[in-house]
Amino acid sequence: MAVITTTRRTERFSRTTPPTCKYWLAGRCNRNPCKFLHSLSTLPSNVHNANMTYMHSKNPHLSAEKMASSSVKKPTNCAPKAFKKPANCARKAVECGSEAMSVEKPTQCEQMDISIEKTESVEEVATVAKSPMEKSRSICKYWMTDNCVHGDLCQNLHSWFYGDGFTTLAKLHEHKKVVTGIALPAGSDKLYSGSTDGTVRAWDCNTGHCVNMIHLNSEVTSLISEGPWIFAGVKNAVKAWNIQTGADVTLDGPKGQVLSLNVGNDILLAGAEDGVIYAWRYSSDPKPESPFELVATLSGHTKPVVCLAIGCYKMLYSGSMDHSIKVWDLDTLQCTMTLNGHTDVVTSLICWGDYLLSSSYDCTVNVWVRTEEGTLKVAYTHTDENAILGLYGMTDAEAKPILFCSCKDKSVRMYELPTFLERGRLFTRREVRSFEIGPGGLFFTGDGTGLLNVWRWLEEPKVPTS
């Protein structure tokens, strides 16, 4: 767009109606009297090109020669920033005060006003100036440490979540390291959590207090419950204990850390660091030794097995650091196919109806469907800007399916399915590594700081305040 640099054309424009005050348009002008219009002026009749670029000065007596020469000056640092975020410079101008706006020693924001600005029309300036600045969808890192000085004017969030229809109930912070598993046994009034600090804690669901702590002398990297049994994956073993009888059992066999656990077809399955899935069958017959018998080892992955899922046509699905997903028949425990839809570590798998959902460090979520030939193919891929660490699913108070995606940027994104429209976000100081669904709309998240958060869906979604 051409810049006006001739003195004659500039003088002709300077003798017409002075320009409208930008700060008045934004509702922020604090000068009385102001040398600019506090109304929407019309363009002079001798100006025919609405797309032309104009200059104006805070000082109406500034000579035309100086105005013309200012058009070829090197732009100040504030000018390009103001072009990208005009509201920020407007706020700085208010903070400068009347003394800072002197002609003798103009501030950077004052110099910005002398520089060239491009608009389609005066009406467009009014629209841009009055439009509210959209809040960022990132949590303020200074607010997290109680050091933010902007208060309500801060463009980042001063909240641990945003969205409607849910709220936070409690924060349980006793673990010293990452919470890697959460279990809520059926019929129990206790919530169990495992951590890499080497402990499993039991929490009273009524008071929120830790009522018991089990030291395992090894990092707990996975935790689940099935019936009265609780299983914890540790190095070279799975620890199991019965909360009704008090029985305590150690299941040996795995090599390295047990990273994932699941139960299906009355079989306990454990994905280990050596790339093998170990399978134990439970026997109700009373025996002097363990009630669990190792019945198979499922080999096929070349790197650690990170996640396990059961469902979708009675199959077992395993995700690995070798970037692949393997499908196993639960009756024969044989691998039936290998899925190669990711280019990095497969971090999580969930079965939802007839769909398999997988996430990866490659920043994608794949939705797999069964074909007529009996194979699985990717029907849809959702891409995020961050690596995805985990997938969790539940329904909200209105029975809408909600997918939770724990991301590398220390947030959990909430998407409505099947549209993947974002519903809200949860924020933590460190990445969320575990998730569990409770009764009555409750759900739980555990993060890298050792914090266990308790959340609840509201019966009716919140109405945003104006």
pLDDT digits (tens, 9 = 90+) for 415-461: 999 999 999 999 888 999 999 999 888 999 999 999 999 999 887 54
- Residue 119 domain flag: yes
Same domain, 263 and 318: yes
- Residue 140 domain flag: no
- Residue 427 domain flag: yes
Same domain, 388 and 434: yes
The pLDDT value given to residue 365 = 97
- State the maximum Cα–Cα separation within the chain, in Å, rounded to a whole number: 105
Same domain, 116 and 171: no
Q: Is 311 left (phi over 0), alpha (psi -120 to 50) or beta?
A: left
Q: Is the dihedral of CA 92, 94, 99, 104 positive or negative?
A: positive
- Residue 159 domain flag: no
Distance between terminal CA atoms of the chain?
Answer: 39
Same domain, 99 and 170: no
201, β-bridge pairs: 193, 213
CATH number of the domain that 355 lies in? Answer: 2.130.10.10
- Residue 156 domain flag: no
Three-state SS annotation for the chain: CCECCCHHHHHHHHCCCCCECHHHHCCCCCCCCCCCECCCCCCCCCCCCCCCEECCCCCCCCCHHHHHHHCCCCCCCHHHHHHHCHHHHHHHHHHHHHHHCCCCCCCHHHHHHHCCECCCCHHHHHHHHHCCCCCCCCECHHHHCCCCCCHHHCCCECCCEEECCEEEEEEEECCCCCEEEEECCCCCCEEEEEECCCEEEEEECCCCCEEEEEECCCCCCEEEEECCEEEEEEEEEEEEEECCCCCEEEEEEEEEEEEEEEEECCEEEEEECCCCEEEEEECCCCCCCCCEEEEEEECCCCCCEEEEEEECCCEEEEEECCCCEEEEECCCCCEEEEECCCCCCEEEEEEECCEEEEEECCCEEEEEEECCCCCEEEEEEEECCCCEEEEEEEECCCCCEEEEEEECCCEEEEEECCCCEEEEEEECCCCEEEEEECCCCEEEEEECCCEEEEEEECCCCCCCCC
- Residue 153 domain flag: no
- What is the total count of domains within the chain? 2
231: exposed, middle or buried (Cβ count in 10 Å: 0-12, 13-18, 19+): buried
Q: Which domain holds residue 22?
A: 7-130
Same domain, 203 and 54: no
What are 51-78's pLDDT values in tens digits? Answer: 333 333 334 343 434 434 444 444 344 3
Same domain, 416 and 320: yes
Within the chain, which residues score under 50 in pLDDT? 1-15, 41-134, 461, 464-466
Bond preceding residue 106 cis, omega within 30 of 0: no
* Type of residue at 333: L
- Residue 137 domain flag: no
* Type of residue at 149: V
Query: Among residues 108, 130, 152, which one ends one of the domains?
Result: 130
CA distance linking residue 366 with residue 371, whole number of Å: 15
CA distance linking residue 85 with residue 83, whole number of Å: 6
- Residue 103 domain flag: yes
Same domain, 168 and 72: no
CA-atom Rg of the chain in angstroms:
31
CA distances from 201 to 159, 229, 421 (A): 28, 15, 36
CA distance linking residue 360 with residue 387, whole number of Å: 7
Same domain, 302 and 346: yes
Same domain, 186 and 100: no
What are 262-318's pLDDT values in tens digits? Answer: 999 899 999 999 999 999 998 777 665 778 999 999 999 999 999 999 987 889 999
Bond preceding residue 18 cis, omega within 30 of 0: no
207: exposed, middle or buried (Cβ count in 10 Å: 0-12, 13-18, 19+): exposed
CA distance linking residue 456 with residue 437, whole number of Å: 10
Same domain, 125 and 208: no
Same domain, 63 and 119: yes
Query: Among residues 84, 105, 130, which one ends one of the domains?
Result: 130
CA distance linking residue 59 with residue 67, whole number of Å: 10
Same domain, 278 and 379: yes
310, β-bridge pairs: 316
CA distance linking residue 377 with residue 339, whole number of Å: 8
